[in-house]
Structure 1
Amino acid sequence: MSETKTALVTGANKGIGYEIAAGLGRLGYRVGVGARDAARREAAVDRLRADGADAFGVPLDVTDDRSVAAAAALLERQAGRLDALVNNAGVSGEMGPGWLQDPTVLDLEVVRAVVDTNVLGVVRVTNAMLPLLRRSASPRIVNVSSSVGSLARQADPDTEVGPVMAAYAPSKSFLNALTLQYARQLAGTGILVNAACPGLVATDFTGFHGPRTPAEGAATPIRLATLPDGGPSGGFFEDAGVVPW
């Protein structure tokens, strides 16, 4: 088995996911670029390789059981184990004017689609990759969340949390709660499981509004994906430290 560590980043063809892959590549990881769109996936792999990263494409639709199983089989063939899984793929769901998702008129199909990607997709991918993660000496799982998933911040009238997003924000609260359950279940196994808030990053996801660059947004996920043994598990972190649940 190769001594080079291997990482899988979902939704890695652009934005924060791409920068997470790039950062891990610079640290010497072999990086699987998980993405649905073949052309965008391979373009990202080409860019990463041009920058010196050892990258390979992983066809992956986190909402499709067969796609996830095929991705796990590919990683089995490519590396035989997985050292870091970064569940980055996510969707916001349809937004109204002002990036608003009004709960009083919310289309339930929008909620289902958001949860299927942002929550159920994480379960699909994580559970499929666990056998490979268990073969690593220092396995790490990072779920890319958001501060809008913080119930404490959402409930604080003195904290600026942006518009009401009745599908997206609760999906991240759900993801945070799920992160805790995985951390509890996997306690003592050496698998560290944490949630990361990248902050408000200027990507196509946000309409390129936000004070942070994708590389800045990738910093905390990269740090959590490369934690030393004995590091925290079951936490929610941003660059400034711990995010309240």
Structure 2
Amino acid sequence: MARIVIVEDDDLIATSLARALGAAGHDVTVAATLAAAEAPVADADLVLCDLGLPDGDGLDLITTLARDQPGLPVVALTARAEEGDVVARLASGAVDYVTKPFRLAELQARIEAHLRQASAIRPGGRRGGVVRVGDLAIDRGARRVMVGAREVALRPREFDLLARLASDAGDVVRREDIMSDVWDENWWGSTKTLDVHVNALRRKLGEEPGTPSRITAIRGVGYRLEVA
């Protein structure tokens, strides 16, 4: 059982989600405003957060949670479909987003995948080993990344993505394999989230737009982490 907080002011959506997640065995709390969400999210295992709330933008809550509770998976719920909004909500700290209207079964599958992923990276489930690729050092056990002498702070999904590419450094890793290994083998959504995460990862590794990247996109196939 996981503690899930739904931050959503649409009563129909919130009630339907709460009922379905409760039936799946989870402990569900609903908050209709940012203010009402402040207390329950402190003890949550996963947060579903609408962006358009009566007392502010859900992105503000997502950004705060990414800073204060970096291991907490947050899924953004939104009616905004523009690419700029997608990038903003993922860059702010959400591990995923779902555009309304959404299929309940798909959202539930994503929630379960994120809960499994979060559980796997908690202390006690560490797998050791440092992988070095060029000036990158990826410590799987400590979940730390160094670029030269500089430590880079990555979100859990960003770390897992980089570690997956590093495990086959120099080779192309297919999009389908990345989604299966980093997200979940039952992922049903668009793989556009992969491209957004790669772009965020490039920025955090210190790369500027238009400059050579450590991560090369192979059109229609996947991505390759360069060894030099």
Give the structure-2-normalised TM-score.
0.43
Structure number with the bigger relative contact order (C-alpha 8 A, sep ≥ 6) is 1
TM-score of the two chains, using structure 1 as the length reference: 0.41
User: Computing the radius of gyration over CA atoms, which structure comes out larger, 1 or 2?
Assistant: 2
**Greater fraction strand:** 2
